[in-house]
Structures are given as structure tokens and as C-alpha cells.
């Protein structure tokens, strides 16, 4: 309704006397002034889009707050060496993490041309691994420096996400295993990535890194490291914060 239509509609109902018409006009003017004085609806403040580094910082904080998770780490391409003196290599690790410092994993290792599975534990009480023949747990030999627990330490995933990835960029919003995720990409030094790759990457070289983090929680669901010659590392996290119990053998 226009401002002048207020006058037209109200004056239509006067009784014809000059005084009534004046009163009606005054009332209409008061209504019009009140309408003009009504405050306008506030304009919502736009929420700024987080930068790629802000997203990675959030993912690092989510990792530090994580209470438990299951994970898999797959070596793509040539197997990675665990112990050069024994010719011991590995191609796949799967296991569970219990905060703050308990990890259990099954590792597929290559030894003398054979692929076998061993169980390993990283616990505050010490590190243990199964004897391939008897399947009983024994203390892990000190020369075997492979330490999956560092994945979840502050120097592992959180450090890589918050401080280690350079030239970070947002790739796209995607769907991964039924979750809505943000796909980010950057590069990281081989020395920074050592906790995630058993120290197999060369320091001083930047390797492409892709991160998929869940939009609702900030949890990292997947991280991929690309090496030359079609080698790489694929780490998946799932069943995050679903309770697990990792006991001492």
C-alpha cells in the first residue's frame, strides 16, 4: 500500500464535517509517520568463508580431541622398507587407536619373498609384536623403528595438518563414504611426513598431499601422499570416537 493510499482510505470514512475530516487527516498522518519510523530489519552479517589453512587448523584440533578411531594405511606401488638388514618390507597396516597413546595394528610384511601378517602394539607399558611362528607377543626389537603410534601423536597428523602443509588450496566439496567432506590440497616436506610414512620419504623434497575432512566435525577421513613413479600412501580413518579397548598382552 502506498503512503498516499493511507490518506485516501481513512478520509473515506469521515461524516462530512470539516472538523471530522481534519481529525481523520491527522490520524492518517500519524499512521504514516509511524510506518516511516519503523526500524528496518537488520541485514545479516555474512559469515566469511574459511581459508584453506583455517580448515586445516580445524582438522588438526579435531585430531587432537579424537578419543578413538580405526584406520588403514596402504603403501601404493613398491613396498616400503622396514629393516634393510633383514630385507623386511611392508605394504599395508590396519588397526585401532585409543587416546591418548595406545595403538594396535595388523601389518602385512614381506620377508624372504613371503608375505606374512604380524600384530604390533604400541603402549605406554612398551611395544610388542607377535612371533610369526608362534603368534605370541614379544617385546619389539629396538632396531625395528616402525612406530604407527606417531600417526596420532601431536607430532603426527596434527602437526602435518596445522603446520606442515604448504601452498594449501581448497579443491571442492565432495562426498566420501556417505559423508560430506572438504577436499584440500597442498605440499609437505618429506621430513614432516615421516611419522605418517615410517620415515620413508626424503627430507627436503615437497610431496603433494590431499586431505579430505568431514564438514560437520572437522575430522580427517582420508589423507593421500603422492610420490614419483606412481608410489604413494593412502591413510583412511573411520569409526571415529567409537570406543575401543586396547589391552596389554
Give a yes or no: residue 43 inside a domain: no
Give a yes or no: residue 200 inside a domain: yes
Structural domain count, the chain: 2
- Residues with Cβ within 8 Å of 10's Cβ and at least 6 positions away in sequence, in order, are 24, 25, 27, 28, 31
pLDDT by residue (tens digit) across 37-89? 556 667 777 778 899 999 999 999 999 999 999 999 999 998 887 777 777 78
Give a yes or no: residue 249 inside a domain: no
pLDDT by residue (tens digit) across 4-25? 454 455 445 444 455 565 555 5
* Residue whose C-alpha is closest to residue 55's, from 169, 195, 133: 169
- Window from 80-84, 103-107, 170-174, 196-200 with minimum mean pLDDT: 80-84
Both 102 and 12 in one domain: the answer is no
Both 79 and 12 in one domain: the answer is no
pLDDT by residue (tens digit) across 144-184? 777 899 999 999 999 999 999 999 999 999 999 899 999 99
The mean pLDDT of 124-152, rounded to a whole number, is 88
Distance (Å, whole) CA 140 – CA 131: 10
pLDDT exceeds 50 at position 137: yes
Distance (Å, whole) CA 37 – CA 25: 18
As a whole number of angstroms, the longest Cα–Cα distance in the chain is: 115
Both 73 and 119 in one domain: the answer is yes
Q: Which residue in the block uniquely carries the three cell numbers 493511507?
A: 6
Domain that holds residue 20: 3-37
**Could you tell me the CATH number of the domain that includes residue 117?**
2.50.20.20
At 111 the pLDDT is 77
Better pLDDT: 228 or 33 = 228
Give the pLDDT band of residue 115 (cuts 50, 70, 90).
Answer: confident
Amino acid at each position: 500500500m502506498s503512503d498516499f493510499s493511507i490518506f485516501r482510505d481513512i478520509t473515506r470514512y469521515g461524516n462530512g464535517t470539516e472538523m471530522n475530516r481534519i481529525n481523520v487527516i491527522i490520524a492518517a498522518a500519524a499512521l504514516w509517520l509511524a510506518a516511516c519510523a519503523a526500524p528496518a530489519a537488520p541485514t545479516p552479517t555474512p559469515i566469511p568463508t574459511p581459508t584453506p589453512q583455517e580448515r586445516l587448523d580445524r582438522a588438526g584440533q579435531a585430531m587432537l580431541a579424537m578419543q578413538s578411531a580405526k584406520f588403514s594405511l596402504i603403501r601404493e606401488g613398491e613396498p616400503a622398507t622396514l629393516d634393510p638388514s633383514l630385507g623386511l618390507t611392508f605394504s599395508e597396516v590396519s588397526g585401532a587407536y585409543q587416546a591418548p597413546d595406545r595403538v594396535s595394528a595388523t601389518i602385512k610384511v614381506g620377508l624372504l619373498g613371503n608375505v606374512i601378517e604380524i600384530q604390533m602394539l604400541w603402549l605406554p607399558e612398551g611395544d610388542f609384536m607377535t612371533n610369526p611362528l608362534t603368534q605370541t607377543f614379544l617385546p619389539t626389537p629396538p632396531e625395528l623403528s616402525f612406530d604407527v603410534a606417531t600417526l596420532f601423536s601431536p607430532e603426527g597428523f596434527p602437526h602435518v595438518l596445522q603446520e606442515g602443509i604448504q601452498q594449501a588450496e581448497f579443491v571442492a566439496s565432495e562426498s566420501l563414504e556417505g559423508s560430506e567432506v572438504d577436499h584440500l590440497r597442498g605440499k609437505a616436506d618429506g621430513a614432516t611426513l615421516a611419522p605418517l610414512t615410517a620415515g620413508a620419504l626424503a627430507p627436503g623434497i615437497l610431496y603433494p598431499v590431499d586431505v579430505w575432512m568431514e564438514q560437520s566435525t572437522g575430522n580427517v577421513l582420508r589423507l593421500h601422499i603422492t610420490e614419483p613413479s606412481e608410489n604413494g600412501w593412502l591413510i583412511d580413518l573411520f569409526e571415529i570416537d567409537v570406543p575401543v579397548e586396547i589391552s596389554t598382552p
